Structure 1
Amino acid sequence: MTNYLIKNGTIVTEGKSFVGDLLIENGYIKKIGHNLQVDSTIQTIDASGKLVLPGMIDDQVHFREPGLTHKGDIQSESRAAVAGGITSFIEQPNTVPNAVTQDILEEKYKRAAEVSFANYSFMMGGTNDNLEEVLKTNPRNVAGIKLFLGSSTGNMLVDNQEVLEKIFSSTSLLIAVHAEDEGTIRKNLAEHKEKYGEDIPVQCHPVIRSEEACYLSSSKAIELAKKTGARLHVFHLSTAKETELFRNDIPLKDKKITAEVCVHHLWFTDKDYAVKGNFIKWNPAVKSEVDREGLWKALLDDRIDVIATDHAPHTLEEKSKSYLNAPSGGPLVQHALVALLESVKQGRITIEKLVEKFAHNPAILFQVEKRGFLKEGYHADVVIVDSESEWTVDKSNILYKCGWSPFEGTAFSSKITHTFVNGFLAYADGVVNTEHKGQRLLFER
């Protein structure tokens, strides 16, 4: 195994940035310091003028395997992830079949061990009738339980209040929820069909999947978590109103109720539907500029704890259909970090805060073992960024299996130059090293 000395980079970790060296030996961070001296067997990378960051941990992706691999698969999407500086991911259970039994869940882990270039974990899915399977979930090597409180693939809508309360009461595992009220959405959709027939404009998406639908579901989930003492994590907040439900007066490690925001809700607004159309159709919907600003405010004042992608690819053909027939979701893992680095350049967020929300906090929140920080003794998941290297997203440099990106045509001013996964150089200068695979994430529980 090749060992590396990363020299003279701006190391960003635990709220600090400083110029220094980082030594990688046998897959781990051996030493962080200044003017480190090593023998000639260790390969040196000069990171002068570049950022040295911990690998990002994306706590919500949909890599589409099994059953939906025409859209993406673990191999293709993990390749895009490491090219984007994401070294670990937590994948969701709404594949085909849904990961709602321990056997199906373990099949996904076996597949990832064979093909994933990034480190991986998979969530166990809850349904109205699989509590017994849910309770078998091993907290040491499974990230948590995922519940859809709005419509999803297959049998994954959990709309039975008695079942919900039982799940919340019966497990100490983190419960992550997609919170949109199905009744509200159906009512809004029926009204729009009455008005527009089958030709509903995509601009109506945030009206159909409304603020009310999000707030009603999020607030109910939080109320239930408080009642039962469950450990609740609310995925992809999309409204300013929802942010009022969360606290920032206690440390993250002590929070029982936490929240996530996704890159697309921090970047796009409803004004972008006119140009982007279904290519920014997500659930929950991209909403108003007021909502976007509210999400940024809550992220910066720590009511929102983590940033994720909700990476969810669909084919170009699928996304090109009419609003009612086009699926929701889009690919993001390759471009999430560089998009957020634009916000650093604009002064909206500091690099230290970005690293906190996209690397440190997912590790703290999920209790990931020895990842998410640049620390001696931690796994060497490391990203080097040239923050003065402009490039434009186009089809020639997109690595997603679906072959498109909502950021096509966007010029970014930062480029990922190197990504290390467990000390292996997984990506360098535009090329993914397919020789080595990631590891199953473990959790300190």
Structure 2
Amino acid sequence: MLDLVLRNATLPEGRVADLSFQNARLVHIGSAGRSDQEIDCTGLLCIPAATDIHVHMRGGSQSAKEDWRTGSMAALAGGVTMVVDQPNTIPPLLNQERYLERVREAKKDSLCSFAINGGISPGVDPLPLWRAGAMAFGEIFAAPSSYGDALTLEELKQALHEVHAFGAPATIHAEEVSPGTPDSLLAHHHIRSPEGEVRSLQLIRDILPPGMRPHICHISSPASLPVAPGSKEVTPHHLFLSIEQFTPDDTFARVNPPLRPESERQALFAAWDSIDIIASDHAPHTRGEKAVAFADAPSGLPGVETMLPLLMNEVRKGTITLSSVIEKTSVAPCRVLGILPAGFAPDQRHDFAFYPMQAESIRSENLHSRCGWTPYEGMVGVFPELVIQYGEVAYYHSEYAGIPGRYLAGRGYQVGEQIQ
């Protein structure tokens, strides 16, 4: 007797088959026997669930924006079963005590699997964070951003050498910020320009320790792709949104790096094959925080729930291939982190998302982030109907099973007994 059978699912290569699960593991693909639980997946496309390598789940003193419960609900509803949280929290994750508090907070509330990165600050030894379970270090800020202080080039060089010495991955926020206070999206674009992003990446490339391949966060310009060392991440908002789609001073479109003009957005999308990873940089703020003068508004957008639906709609249209979406959202992020990817093989995580491949309008009232808004309002996405996490139903027909997410620690993990 099987625990779960998902009947008549369409696999990525087009084959229709039953998926059989026992003891929370995928044990057979093909015709299935009897099961305690069966779901008819006729017409649903099954793909490995996504790992979002770049999210800010807020929580703590920032729970009005988002917390682990609402952020993980948004992730699952978007086909994401694994997220990697960034350390520029309040306070930042710079010591073992604060890091372990963050893990406990997530273990209590998260419905999706998660990892948490460690922070970098001058004079702070990163090794204790690595031993506490940090998946990676960063995003390390080469330019200031919301809740993130910039390191000087010399400080960045030292930090990269330190984490590389014990084999930890490093993720870098690369920008150059010119003097001035932006009062519009266009001014913000010029102050944090594509040319400055390229110069920042060139400087970073020159200070890397031998053999290090960092992960470069949220590249916003096609000119940066051939310059960036290591793995290259692009966000959905830089692929799908541009300055021209908003009024000049729309604070809800303010983000770092900034949105670019439409011509730049199109050129970035055209460079799809040069992009290694798509990650959301999910960074919600409340409506009230955004409803101020442009110069005073925080930078950041929600996006973990809409990332895969936007991409799957492009697959539906034939703009990009399904295999490339799986590679950039499921396989490559896990390869960079050194963790098992979701997939159909016996030694992979058995996390899957099932899509009806029918487009629907994106509406904020249908989304789950606590911030209650989306920059993609009225755009089109393909949302999953069913999400399987570690071989169990986690989300089905807009209902959550409530199964706690799992904590995935980094390779330096040595203090597990302290996390209860």
Global fold match (TM > 0.5):
yes
**RMSD value, Cα:** 2.2
In the TM superposition, 1:54-69 aligns within 5 A as 54-69=48-63
Counterpart in 1 of 2:6?
6
Q: Is the counterpart of residue 145 in structure 1 residue 143 in structure 2?
A: no
Counterpart in 1 of 2:199?
216
| Per-residue deviation, residues 180-217 of structure 1 (Å, max 9, x unmatched) | 12xxx242x26x6xxxxxxx233322112111221111
Q: Percent identity?
A: 27
Q: Is the counterpart of residue 262 in structure 1 residue 245 in structure 2?
A: no
The alpha-carbon deviation at position 394 of structure 1 amounts to: 2.5
Distance 2:264 2:136 in 1: 28
| Per-residue deviation, residues 229-265 of structure 1 (Å, max 9, x unmatched) | 323110000011101215xxxxxxxxx7111000111
| Per-residue deviation, residues 2-30 of structure 1 (Å, max 9, x unmatched) | 82212221222xxx443222222222222
Q: Secondary structure at the match of 1:330?
A: coil
In the TM superposition, 1:401-412 aligns within 5 A as 401-412=370-381
Distance 1:424 1:276 in 2: 45
Q: TM-score, normalised on structure 1?
A: 0.86
Q: Is the counterpart of residue 94 in structure 1 residue 88 in structure 2?
A: yes
| Per-residue deviation, residues 68-117 of structure 1 (Å, max 9, x unmatched) | 11111111111111011110000001110001112111111111111100
Q: Is the counterpart of residue 350 in structure 1 residue 321 in structure 2?
A: yes
Moved more, 354-363 or 424-433: 424-433
Distance 1:153 1:323 in 2: 14
Contact 2:135–2:411 (CA<8 Å) still a contact in 1? no
Closer, same or farther: CA 426–40 of 1 in aligned 2, 3 Å: closer
Contact 1:384–1:417 (CA<8 Å) still a contact in 2? yes
Closer, same or farther: CA 282–69 of 1 in aligned 2, 3 Å: same
Counterpart in 2 of 1:335?
306
Counterpart in 2 of 1:280?
253
* Match 1:83 to one of 77, 87, 92: 77
In the TM superposition, 1:106-255 aligns within 5 A as 106-130=100-124, 132=125, 134-138=126-130, 141-146=133-138, 147-154=140-147, 156-159=149-152, 161-171=153-163, 172-181=167-176, 185-187=177-179, 189=180, 200-225=183-208, 227-246=209-228
Contact 1:54–1:355 (CA<8 Å) still a contact in 2? yes
Distance 1:59 1:289 in 2: 26
The alpha-carbon deviation at position 223 of structure 1 amounts to: 2.1
Counterpart in 2 of 1:396?
365
Q: TM-score, normalised on structure 2?
A: 0.91
Counterpart in 2 of 1:365?
336
Distance 1:51 1:140 in 2: 38
Q: Secondary structure at the match of 1:60?
A: strand
The alpha-carbon deviation at position 276 of structure 1 amounts to: 8.6
Aligned AA for 1:310?
Answer: D
Contact 1:142–1:442 (CA<8 Å) still a contact in 2? yes
Aligned AA for 2:398?
Answer: G
Counterpart in 1 of 2:417?
none
Q: Secondary structure at the match of 1:222?
A: helix
The alpha-carbon deviation at position 336 of structure 1 amounts to: 1.1
Counterpart in 1 of 2:16?
19
Q: Secondary structure at the match of 1:52?
A: strand
Aligned AA for 1:235?
Answer: C
* Match 1:386 to one of 342, 356, 362: 356
Aligned AA for 1:210?
Answer: S
In structure 1, the gaps of 5 or more residues are 193-199, 247-255
Counterpart in 2 of 1:441?
408
Contact 1:61–1:310 (CA<8 Å) still a contact in 2? yes
The alpha-carbon deviation at position 317 of structure 1 amounts to: 1.1
Contact 2:52–2:83 (CA<8 Å) still a contact in 1? yes
Contact 2:239–2:265 (CA<8 Å) still a contact in 1? yes
The alpha-carbon deviation at position 148 of structure 1 amounts to: 0.9
Contact 1:203–1:274 (CA<8 Å) still a contact in 2? no
Distance 2:245 2:269 in 1: 18
Closer, same or farther: CA 360–115 of 1 in aligned 2, 3 Å: same
Q: Is the counterpart of residue 426 in structure 1 residue 409 in structure 2?
A: no
Distance 2:254 2:276 in 1: 24
Contact 2:239–2:269 (CA<8 Å) still a contact in 1? yes
Aligned AA for 1:67?
Answer: S
Aligned AA for 2:149?
Answer: M
Counterpart in 2 of 1:46?
40
Contact 1:91–1:123 (CA<8 Å) still a contact in 2? yes
Closer, same or farther: CA 108–201 of 1 in aligned 2, 3 Å: same
Contact 1:28–1:378 (CA<8 Å) still a contact in 2? no
| Per-residue deviation, residues 384-413 of structure 1 (Å, max 9, x unmatched) | 11112x43233431211011111222243x
Aligned AA for 1:429?
Answer: H
Q: Secondary structure at the match of 1:167?
A: helix
Aligned AA for 1:180?
Answer: E
Aligned AA for 1:220?
Answer: L
